[in-house]
Amino acid sequence: MTDSPEFDSELHRTALAQLDRVAARLALDSDIHERLRFPRRALVVSVPIRMDRGDTEVFIGYRVHHNTALGPTKGGLRYDLGVNLGEVTALAMLMSWKCALMGLPYGGAKGGVRCNPRELSPRELEHLTRRYTTEIIHMIGPDLDIPAPDLGTDEQTMAWMMDTYSMTQGKSVPGVVTGKPIIVGGSAGRREATGRGIVFVLYQAAKSLGQELRGKKIVVQGFGNVGSVAARLLWNDGCTIAGISDVKGGVWNPAGLDVRQLQDHVTQTGSVVGFPGAEPVTNEAILEQPCDVLIPAAVDSVIHARNADRIKALIVAEAANGPTTPEADVILRDHGVTVIPDILCNAGGVVVSYFEWVQGLQYYFWKESEIIARLQEIMARSFTSVWRTAQKSGVDLRTGALMEGISRVADAHVSRGLYP
């Protein structure tokens, strides 16, 4: 196997270890395995921005296309201080498996700019987004590569990207990004899609385990777009939300938090910290609280070899990308914890992105109820399929999900052959 030191990072080592393990299990053709270990193309750009203080700061950005065997590439754009080439490359690889697993006609991609978006003003964020989009303009397009929101980016980021791309084309091109505001071609239900998809998957998981989701005790790490929606929907459905955290810290009440009041508290204060009637808990300690379902919905590698044996949850639902390291995976499996892997658990976002893209290409928009029903069907079907694969092969759900995703991409390579 060829070495690829330029992509080295913790998450990339995790992604490669997962691929290598599953390739061996699938007895994948070694030529195709070798090709899947590398991104198809990766671009590094510098993004100079005139800051509000008057000086110029240069940010580093990336866009990586992992694989194009199944179609144009798809994947989010993140603004975070942890962004580097290795992380973005690993996340692009995960998107390849995720899209293939969900039966979407896409390869995987990812982008990122290394910055702290919380320290940038709206003007600086707009300039950063527009200049970054201009620097990667040849890498994106409705039938080439379609960005979407991820950590630190949102609907507004996508509106600026779409506008910047459209200005270079002399016409509106809604299909170049997904996760846009509805007024400029976004889809009903996209904002809630990742959180809602997690809930659908959890219902299916509970059913397969012969349990009832209602009344279960849930802990959510992360109260952004994904964690807050999952928490609210589960709370509406009669689950006890015992703990929630965000970047600043967490709150814990085993009798249950009122998620609507907590949301109001966050709107007023900017954080869950200080919510009345709950004990403070750190972002690390919240993972180890006693609960039925733990939802890591923040950043990668938070469950690792040093804390995995203290996780008390029966189910870990991976809302974030890559929250569990391979060493922790083994420990959780040995402790009988059911891990619903990221590429299945958080795929609701990219599934509704696909709906948005299809609606945009047809200039015909569906009702929210239709979006939710189709999302539910795809999430439930995919979970059942992964569950069966895992049972049949005697493996955990992550291995089952990767086996399905990776083998689909590999089949596409076999059928297309190697150019020239």
Residues found near ligand GLU in the complex (CB under 6 A) = 74-76, 148, 150, 178, 321, 346, 349-350, 353
Q: Which of 332, 325, 343 is nearest to 92 (CA)?
A: 343
Residue 346 C-beta: closest distance to ligand GLU, Å? 6
Residue 97 C-beta: closest distance to ligand GLU, Å? 11
Beta 145-149 vs 107-114: how paired, if at all? Answer: unpaired
Distance CA 361, CA 175 (A): 6
Helix runs in 290-366, H state only? 326-334, 342-345, 348-362
User: Which of these is catalytic: 98, 110, 216, 217?
Assistant: 110
Name the residue nearer to ligand GLU (CB basis): 32 or 91: 91
Name the residue nearer to ligand GLU (CB basis): 352 or 395: 352
Residue 335 C-beta: closest distance to ligand GLU, Å? 27
Name the residue nearer to ligand GLU (CB basis): 286 or 345: 345
Residue 76 C-beta: closest distance to ligand GLU, Å? 3
Name the residue nearer to ligand GLU (CB basis): 225 or 253: 225
CA distances to 14, 228, 399 from 97, rounded to whole Å, are 14, 26, 12
Helix runs in 212-269, H state only? 225-236, 259-269
248 is catalytic: no
Beta 145-149 vs 73-80: how paired, if at all? Answer: parallel
Distance CA 188, CA 182 (A): 7
3-class DSSP assignment, residue 56: strand
Q: Which of 93, 129, 87 is nearest to 109 (CA)?
A: 93
Residue 43 C-beta: closest distance to ligand GLU, Å? 18
Q: How many CA atoms lie within 13 A of 380 on its CB side?
A: 11
Name the residue nearer to ligand GLU (CB basis): 86 or 243: 86
Residue 272 CB partners (closer than 8 Å, separation 6+): 223, 244, 245, 246, 248, 249, 250, 251, 262, 265, 266
Known catalytic residues are 110
